[in-house]
Chains A and B, each alone.
Chain A
């Protein structure tokens, strides 16, 4: 094989790689480093009642969702009705982390639109958000009964995502045991 064929081979390889790259998905999506690891510990005052705290201790013993939300987040509003559905069906307990928000605004928001959360933690300065690797709202984490993070979804929840990503994974784990 003469050496003049090498550029052709190199470019063909590059092109194959680029095709794979295109199908790879959103380059901005950051996978959570916590998948398969224990959920980052936190304990924060709840949104509605600052005397009471909520944290990782509350999550133990059952599957739970941790949903990062805020009133300034447009997509959080669009996923809200579905969260209400989940709560009404008692499909899974949902814990909220109200991220970098104003307490009165957040309380008013829940009063007006409904409160799907067992409790919402009030993360005023964003410290807990950083501990969970949050970089945009909404983000939803699936936690198993042992407190391990199974999955993180970036963006609003809808029925398709719920079935395809969350329910499927919970069923999978049940089947494995």
Chain B
């Protein structure tokens, strides 16, 4: 019964989405206020019904309703409750429903917080979002219905993939999707602007906070995915350039370029057509990512098990949306121009450099992901493009980028005096060079060009980012002297610096060792002794495991006891390794069980990972920077002005 309610709710949501798509767009075209007003109501209604459907699916999982095919395939009686809930979005149909819910949520947010926008513009934005909702709802109802019945019902389910039975599944996909889907708002703003011809700088001002929030969530989502892969997959890596990872990273790179480009457009009215193109591209890459992951066109550990028919549907939808947007662009963009200029040494130049390098990076990731397919179709031969290529290719644009960040952070708009600039740069550059060379050389005892570049650049970024923050803290006149937008920018770049430090140090200095260990034996890795105290059998709620107890000592002093496991899940019978990790900001010690050896011992992978936590800490701080930036008073002044206007109006009529 409940699944049928869920399905019916989806159909209702679809009809509301159709209204939401058609009426506001027509209304904006005709200037009909009533039609335009439908948008907000339809959006609210659509959200309610999608939420109901989502709730029904959660109910089906919690009540172990194995007469629903999706539940039967991805749940199990003995599955812990927390995982029953997160299993809802653990596979294709359910995660698609979550996508739809989040899109409806963003639409609702836009309709609530868009009182500062002209009615026609807001109506167009909501209309475009409605078109997107229609596409995804149709996709779900026609090809990927989560409420499809299984007749006769199964007695027990096929269990959730053991790799997904982890708290990571509860937070990573939702955060990631909020970001991924959030770029649809920037996209909708761009379409609305092109439709109305309203392409002055205010469009950029309106788009910025929405884009920043989406970017924030995507940053968090990707970082969480990386952290989850690190501790869950058991091999200690944090990024594999897998097709699905790339699918989320490309929108992030373009989204970062977009944030920077929006700054220029809002400030100087420059690069309007370029910013429009970036807004279209960021969301198009989100759609492309969805296609790559769900169509089966590319091999990946993350790919949902799905089929080409669904692939064709998404591709058709992608084609309509993107070709429509780009046709509009080809029509409107030529009329956009400005006579504003800037000198060679200016923030505009640096932001242009930022954009060029980020877009090249995104293009390289796309090329690396699709090339195996291109080459296979062109020549029939299959090749693999993996980390060895990506790691090199990605550095080509990003090394210059991280060097430029430290230099460009405090350059003025329009024209920066060279002498003033060099003066500001002198201290950070020298300090960074000293730190960058001294730390690796004397503390870690290693040297290499790449290492020095990494440590110097990241030190420079961190010091540069701290300057405005430190200045503001030292002010004695009570005011902070620093706007939230500058503070946000500084914090975000600080996060980037931390991230680069983490990547540089862990890439240069991590130690990995595959050894055989039996109970009572001990080995030394990276200056720590690892002793296997014993092995025992352990029972989990839906798995049985062999657990090793490994004691770690540093020069005889006790450090920690780790308990890596080798689990066999009862239903799917697959084996999984659960690593034991001793975390720390300065280093992680990582132990994973490999295979059982003939003599009662086990092959064990021990890793020493210095400063790996800085990678995710850096991403967290970047997202925090974004959060700070959107609380800037330029977004709050409007609210104050509105309430003043209301008060004035009340007085006038009193």
Contacts and interface: CB of A to CB of B under 8 A. Distances in A.
B315 interface: yes
Contacts of A175: none
B334 A22 contact: no
Given A7-B329, A27-B373, A2 B334 contact: yes
Given A4-B329, A11-B284, A27-B298, A22 B315 contact: yes
A24 B377 contact: yes
B382 A18 contact: no
Given A20-B377, A21-B377, A22-B308, A27 B330 contact: no
Nearest to A10: B326
A4 B334 contact: yes
B297 A4 contact: no
Contacts of A23: 308
Interface in B255-314: 273, 277, 280-281, 284, 291, 295-299, 308, 311-312
Instruction: Pick from B284, B318, B330, B376 the residue with the most CB of A within 10 Å.
Output: B330
A28 interface: yes
Contacts of B296: 27
Contact of B322 (A2, A11, A17): A11
B382 A11 contact: no
Interface in A4-42: 4-5, 7-8, 11-12, 15, 17-24, 27-28, 30-31
Nearest to A17: B374
B242 to A, nearest CB: 13
Contacts of B152: none
A20 B377 CA distance: 8
A27 B323 CA distance: 27
B298 A22 contact: no
A22 B312 CA distance: 8
A24 B291 CA distance: 15
Contacts of A12: 323
A4 B273 contact: yes
B327 interface: yes
B527 interface: no
A76 B228 CA distance: 36
Contact of A8 (B297, B308, B315, B323): B323
Nearest to A19: B315
Nearest to B297: A21
A56 B330 CA distance: 63
Nearest to A24: B377
A128 to B, nearest CB: 23
A15 B334 contact: no
A132 B382 CA distance: 17
Nearest to A5: B330
A15 B299 contact: no
A5 B332 CA distance: 11
B298 A11 contact: no
Interface string B365-386: 0000010011011001010000
A11 B297 contact: no
B319 interface: yes
A8 B326 contact: yes
B425 interface: no
Q: Which of B284, B308, B326, B329 has the most CB of A within 10 A?
A: B326
Contacts of B323: 8, 11-12, 15
A5 B311 CA distance: 27
Contacts of A15: 315, 318-319, 322-323
Given A4-B334, A15-B318, A24 B373 contact: yes
A18 B297 contact: yes
B333 interface: yes
Interface in A48-81: none
Contacts of B277: 7
B64 to A, nearest CB: 27
A20 B315 CA distance: 11
Contacts of B334: 2, 4
A18 B377 contact: no
Chain B CB count within 10 A is highest, among A8, A20, A24, for: A8
A28 B298 CA distance: 8
Nearest to A25: B308
16 contacts: A4-B273, A4-B333, A4-B334, A7-B281, A8-B329, A11-B322, A12-B323, A15-B322, A17-B377, A18-B315, A19-B312, A20-B377, A24-B297, A24-B377, A31-B380, A31-B382
Interface of A: 2, 4-5, 7-8, 11-12, 15, 17-24, 27-28, 30-31
* CB-based closest 6 A-B pairs: A8-B326, A4-B333, A4-B330, A5-B330, A27-B299, A22-B311
